[in-house]
A and B are shown apart, each in its own frame.
Chain A
């Protein structure tokens, strides 16, 4: 099994030189579950911290390419099997994507909450 990293490094939107560490708040989605594609403006950084994530996705896409090379020679059995495996791999890729996107989403929401708290503190000071 793949061990999901606890901390993921993201690029600050609009300022690619600034990297942010984000700690995952949720466990990775369960295997085999259907996942809706999601919106996210977070970008993964290409650093050693994200190495395992990138390497895993890379390995999965390599598998996909290898599957493309499997010749069915018209056999429906091989075609179905190949389709099944491709679907499994695509699901796994989605699972990884959902994991880091959720992490970024949680972070963005937590940031919003924190900003509100900070503003509250400042108004207290003014009084």
Chain B
């Protein structure tokens, strides 16, 4: 980050730094203005946009409009597809989502795709495309808000996202016309926000401290141990679960309510998707209410069940809810413990626990985090806007790394700030283990080309929680005599069976010369490099010999969509955007015309009265001369009335006499 700052010497007023937080349930966008991040509201004034995209016979709706239409357009409204990013169709997590989702998901090329009816045609969209549609809308919102097209964008990725998921987010940005975004982990962004505002306040910024940051969103949870010292934020350890979040609390409540209705009240609400999705929102409302109240009713009125069903009045108590969710609370505590152990920090050293993400409002969650600290009791810090911390942090990040205009104070704070992130997954390569494992410096073998992955085991090159950007080299040897090619497979993960990890890519190094000494195998050095944004991994393999050294460097992009697919998707997103804009303009015009027609009779009536009044005035003053001003006033009055009778968009123009 330091190096990149030096490049930025001048200020470019046209550059606008923005941050986009793509959550499981909400998206947010903020713009850097007057040296502070400012949230861009959507057209209805909401500070967060629902992750809903609704297709239909006329136009797409994105955001709160789509959510509002969901009840009547259930099958054509996609939401929460972030959970499907970078996962294949048969993945148990995808399957779980597919079972719950009230819209159609099909398998295309082994990956889940959303199938909807749009403009009378059946369309299939990749999850990346759905995210891109939202990003495209957020981009337009930011462009209109900042009055600039020159955006510098930072986009959030949840802690613990795999390389495939990160690539999917990156692809979605490209499809939406946001090339080369800064991809920043959510905890790092939140820490950026926290530090930016606490350095302004000398009381909170003094001295070095270690904090625990717990981020629980709708679909992902992470616990991060960080040390903060005068604007230098260092991530010590991250533990994350990308399948755990506030949504799971809702699901548990839904399950409970369904079971309760069946057993105690004898009401079977059936498995219809639209009923379940309405029940899910009712349960979410109850969960929110429980954050501040001891009991909350679950509203069963609007579920759309048949009239004959007698619905009971269902009330849920907070401790009932806590008991339901005890397993999830335990999972959260486990993450906290995991992060603590990984970081090597003692529990008593943690001075503050910073909570961000909407689900940390649930009292049981906060309590379970504090419980894992036993004796010591750190201060629980809830930042004022725990939902918006990430998007603010992203905007600050993006401003710090761009030429956007900053005040002298902000510049000073940003110059002193450094956020050090870590890699969230170990990186390993597949090797054939050296049978002589007793000696410490036994070198593992690299398989020749075409070796089956099952003959190999994984050798971790980089442990997780290593400070990034990072580079690590290891020396391996060829497996057999006369081996001129080595096959290098790089994985994310550290499971012994390569199949259980995510393959980042593979390549071969060719033309390895035979070792001049009999019985000795040739040596190959493999280096792995991960860049600071958690985005790209480079791998380099090289060998030395008298003929010089051969090196091969490959940048690894697992699961990247093909160029032409991306271009095609990009074109589609643009086409739909254009169609929506035309549709929007048409709707507006139609509504205006309709409003005019309803008001026209009244206006004509008024015009008639005005004309009568004018005539009377002229009759009354028939015998005396009228001044120019008086005549002009009468004319103006008539024009003002006549204007009301005209359809919208028409004007009365006076011809010069």
Question: Residues on A close to B: CB < 8 A?
Answer: 3, 6, 17-19, 21, 23-27, 47-49
Chain A residue with Cβ nearest B512? A17
Q: Is B508 within 8 A of A17, CB to CB?
A: no
Given contacts A17-B511, A47-B449, A48-B487, contact A23 B552 (CB under 8 A): no
Given contacts A47-B449, A48-B450, A48-B487, contact A6 B511 (CB under 8 A): no
List which B84-120 residues lie within 8 A (CB) of chain A: 109
Q: Is B449 within 8 A of A27, CB to CB?
A: no
Chain A residue with Cβ nearest B554? A21
Q: Is B449 within 8 A of A18, CB to CB?
A: no
Q: Is A19 within 8 A of B562, CB to CB?
A: no
Count of A-B contacts with CB under 8 A? 37
Q: Is B550 within 8 A of A18, CB to CB?
A: yes
Q: Is B564 within 8 A of A19, CB to CB?
A: no
Q: Number of B residues whose C-beta is below 8 Å from A?
A: 18
Other-chain contact of A24, B511, B554, B563 (Cβ < 8 Å): B563
State the CA gap A18–B449 with chains docked (Å): 15
Q: Is the interface of B mostly helix, strand, loop or mixed?
A: mixed
* Closest 10 A/B residue pairs (Cβ): A17-B511, A27-B564, A6-B562, A25-B563, A17-B510, A47-B508, A26-B564, A48-B450, A47-B449, A19-B510
B510 surroundings in chain A (CB, below 8 A): 17-19
State the CA gap A23–B506 with chains docked (Å): 14
Other-chain contact of B564, A17, A21, A24, A49 (Cβ < 8 Å): A24
| Closest chain A CB from B490 CB (angstroms) | 14
Among B506, B508, B560, the most chain A Cβ lie within 10 Å of the Cβ of B508
Chain B residue with Cβ nearest A51? B450
A19 surroundings in chain B (CB, below 8 A): 507-508, 510, 552
List which B551-569 residues lie within 8 A (CB) of chain A: 552, 554, 560, 562-565, 568
B552 surroundings in chain A (CB, below 8 A): 18-19
Other-chain contact of B507, A17, A18, A21 (Cβ < 8 Å): A21
A27 surroundings in chain B (CB, below 8 A): 562, 564-565, 568
Chain A residue with Cβ nearest B568? A27
Q: Is B562 within 8 A of A24, CB to CB?
A: yes
| Closest chain A CB from B183 CB (angstroms) | 20
Among A18, A24, A47, the most chain B Cβ lie within 10 Å of the Cβ of A47
State the CA gap A21–B562 with chains docked (Å): 14
Chain B residue with Cβ nearest A11? B510
State the CA gap A27–B561 with chains docked (Å): 12
A49 surroundings in chain B (CB, below 8 A): 506-507
State the CA gap A24–B560 with chains docked (Å): 12
Other-chain contact of B449, A6, A17, A48 (Cβ < 8 Å): A48
Q: Is B487 within 8 A of A23, CB to CB?
A: no
Chain A residue with Cβ nearest B507? A21
Given contacts A48-B450, A48-B487, contact A17 B550 (CB under 8 A): yes
State the CA gap A48–B511 with chains docked (Å): 16
| Closest chain B CB from A119 CB (angstroms) | 21
**18 additional contacts (CB under 8 A) given A19-B507, A48-B450:** A6-B560, A17-B550, A19-B552, A21-B507, A21-B554, A23-B562, A23-B563, A24-B563, A24-B564, A27-B562, A27-B564, A27-B565, A27-B568, A47-B449, A47-B508, A48-B506, A48-B508, A49-B506
